[in-house]
Amino acid sequence: MPKSRTAAIVLAAGKGTRMKSRKPKVMHEIANRPMIGHVMAALKPLHCDPVVLVVAPGMEAVAEAAVPAQIAVQREQLGTGHAVMAARTTLKSVSGDLLVLYGDTPFIATATLEAMLKRRRGADDPAVVVLGFRPDEPGGYGRLVLGASGGLDAIVEACDATPEQRAIGLCNSGVMALDAERILPLLKELRNDNAKSEYYLTDLVALARGRGWDCAVVEASVEELMGINSRADLAAAEQVYQQRARASAMEGGATLLEPASVYFSHDTQLGQDVVVGPHVYFGPGVTIESDVEIKGFCHIEGARIAAGARIGPFARLRPGAAIGPDVHIGNFVEIKNARLGPGAKANHLTYIGDAEIGGGTNIGAGTITVNYDGFSKSRTVIGPNVSIGSNSSLVAPVTIGAGAIVGAGSVITENVPADAMAIARGRQVNMTGRAQTFRAKRKKTTKAKPAKKAGARSGTKRKSGK
């Protein structure tokens, strides 16, 4: 990690018109994290101070996703050089190195930024280090023009380039490491007499060379530098991210039965020997300990799952679900803001919300914690080793003591003491022979009034309920 002081500027004031979105481009998410959050995460280990995010007016809402970046507003989008000028007052007096990144290039790696800073501090003391790459189609990218000694002489924008320059395969990613003291004073020398009438940050290279200062190039992969300009780019980036997340989950000792159908969030944590079935979605904030099995078609977010638990298939764990060790959660079970103790079971068709379930307790099929009365949420507390019979409604707030048994089909509205048996349902009445007499009566009435032929016209309404 670099010792001397480093500041960073992240450019994000571009309109992003091709996204066709009401929200700023850098707020679009990859793996459930805004693009700008990915960039900030790459910067974090470098401890840059300050980090300034340049946005357009009306985009101040990105501040929250870009913590701890300070926000500088670029009133008009007059080019990348102009954007850096807009950050100058926020930067104040930066004397060390300055990294320039783009907010819409989310996969930039910390190691690459470190390599750039290392190169910047090399013995030849280059004033500018540019991150280059070699895309299959250089198209509209700026071209890196190298000198005889291999140093960087200039960056030429595609629209301003000669045919010879356009033939250069090495392109400008936009990421730069600058010696702030030498380079920032050159900003005022930038001119907009070019094809786009913009102040190009890239012109700094030629200005530095004009002063006899060296400039250098560090190269990185195309994948790392993919920029997001459209929804299709966003989808492609998501795919790249997911493929990496799946690979790293497997490298970390998890089994994915069908990797391509498992979706990870940026912060998903899987322990060793976790087995994940097909079509599982991990939303933000999921931590899974070792030896957990997640069967197919589960939707899990904001949940902690302790070692040895078995989840699904078709289970939904919502935020605040804390699943204890060796718990079994089965099909069509939804759990929200609830804690289940060791070995508890809810195997079928259940809603557990705002609840505390003791260890060893069994929740029968179709049980519902009735936590919402239309105004507020209430808690259900169930002790250890309780048995809740199938199809019970537990009307919260309610407490069921340790070792209690609740009879199937109960609607529990009052607390149940420990070791008690509660049955709260209508008593069954068996009427001997009544089914037979009922059938006989129905047959008679049906014969007396034969059904009209289908399609026959009638002025009267047909009776329903046959």
Task: Tell me, residue by residue from 159 to 198, as one string, x for binding to ligand UD1 by CB under 6 A and - for no binding.
Answer: ------------xxxx------------------------
> Which member of 28, 38, 266, 348 is catalytic?
348
Minimum distance from CB of 221 to ligand UD1 (Å)? 15
Does 78 bind ligand UD1 (CB under 6 A)? Our answer is yes
The answer to whether 392 and 408 have CB atoms below 8 angstroms apart is yes
Could you tell me which residues are beta bridge partners of residue 10?
53, 101
Does 226 bind ligand UD1 (CB under 6 A)? Our answer is no
154, 155, 218, 228: which one contacts ligand UD1 (CB under 6 A)? Answer: 155
Instruction: Give kind and range of the element (H or E) at residue 82.
Output: helix 80-86
Does 287 bind ligand UD1 (CB under 6 A)? Our answer is no
Cβ neighbours of residue 291 under 8 Å, at least 6 residues apart?
271, 272, 273, 274, 307, 308
The answer to whether 276 and 261 have CB atoms below 8 angstroms apart is no
Task: Give CA angle at 445 (440, 447), nearest 5°.
Answer: 95
Q: Classify residue 185 by its DSSP letter.
A: G
Minimum distance from CB of 277 to ligand UD1 (Å)? 39
Say how far apart CA 405 and CA 421 lie, in whole Å.
5
Instruction: Kindly identify the residues of this chain, within the stretch 82-101, that bind ligand UD1 according to CB under 6 A.
Output: 82-83
Which tokens belong to 381? 């507390």
Task: Tell me, residue by residue from 13 to 52, as one string, x for binding to ligand UD1 by CB under 6 A and - for no binding.
Answer: xx--------------------------------------
Which tokens belong to 156? 């030429």
Minimum distance from CB of 309 to ligand UD1 (Å)? 43
Using H for helix, E for strand and C for coil, what is the string for 119-152? HHCCCCCCCEEEEEECCCCCCCCCEEEECCCCCE
Does 282 bind ligand UD1 (CB under 6 A)? Our answer is no
Does 204 bind ligand UD1 (CB under 6 A)? Our answer is no
Does 104 bind ligand UD1 (CB under 6 A)? Our answer is yes
Catalytic annotation present for 28: no
Binding segment toward ligand UD1, per CB under 6 A, in 43-51, 78-86, 247-255, 432-440: 78-86
202, 361, 393, 410: which one contacts ligand UD1 (CB under 6 A)? Answer: 202
Which tokens belong to 326? 């060796």
The answer to whether 289 and 307 have CB atoms below 8 angstroms apart is yes
Does 69 bind ligand UD1 (CB under 6 A)? Our answer is no
Cβ neighbours of residue 53 under 8 Å, at least 6 residues apart?
9, 10, 12, 36, 62, 63, 66, 69, 70, 71, 72, 103
For ligand UD1, how many residues bind (rule: CB under 6 A)? Answer: 27
Does 367 bind ligand UD1 (CB under 6 A)? Our answer is no
Say how far apart CA 411 and CA 463 lie, in whole Å.
36
Q: Which amino acid is at 83?
A: A
| Catalytic annotation, residues | 348
Chain contacts with ligand UD1 (rule: CB under 6 A): 11-14, 54, 74, 77-80, 82-83, 102-104, 141-142, 155, 157, 171-174, 200-202, 227
